[in-house]
């Protein structure tokens, strides 16, 4: 399978990160560390935001990548309207509330990279 590009995953939970890496890798993406990532633009940045109040502080340096940002967080409520409003407020492509399924994650990744289809 040809790689679709690389994804930067910012997730500190030692149980969640390997699962995200596996799911994203199985979908055909390479995983790049946030430090020392290739000089090319990533296909996507996935970032866990544990506290919406500190979101801007965490997201601001990520915008320098010039890639779509998918925010993951247990602090956002489920539902399309709530997630879409949170994404607009944060200035990111998409917000995916935790917990989520593999299918929900991969759909959010696809929509974040390719645009809402």
Residue extents of the structural domains in the chain: 6-45+59-114
Least confident of 19-23, 63-67, 84-88, 105-109: 84-88
Percent of the chain at pLDDT above 70?
A: 85
Which CA distances in Å does 18 have to 11, 45, 55, 113? 9, 16, 23, 21
Distance CA 93, CA 114 (A): 11
| Confidence at residue 74, expressed as pLDDT on a 0 to 100 scale | 85
Look up the CATH architecture of domain 6-45+59-114: 3-Layer(aba) Sandwich (3.40)
- Three-state DSSP at 117 gives coil
For residue 31, pLDDT beyond 80: yes
Confidence bin at 117 (pLDDT 50/70/90): very low
- The model's pTM: 0.85
């Amino acid at each position: 399978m040809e790689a679709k590009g690389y994804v930067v995953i910012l997730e500190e939970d030692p149980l969640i990160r390997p699962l995200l890496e596996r799911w994203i890798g199985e979908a055909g993406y390479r995983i790049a560390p946030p430090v020392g990532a290739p000089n090319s633009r990533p296909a996507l940045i996935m970032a866990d935001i544990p506290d919406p109040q500190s979101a801007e502080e965490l997201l601001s340096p990520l915008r320098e990548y010039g890639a779509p940002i998918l925010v993951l967080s247990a602090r956002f409520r489920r539902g399309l309207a709530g997630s879409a409003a949170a994404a607009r407020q944060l200035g990111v492509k998409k917000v995916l509330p935790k917990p989520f399924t593999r299918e929900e994650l991969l759909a959010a990744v696809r929509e974040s990279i390719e645009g809402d289809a």
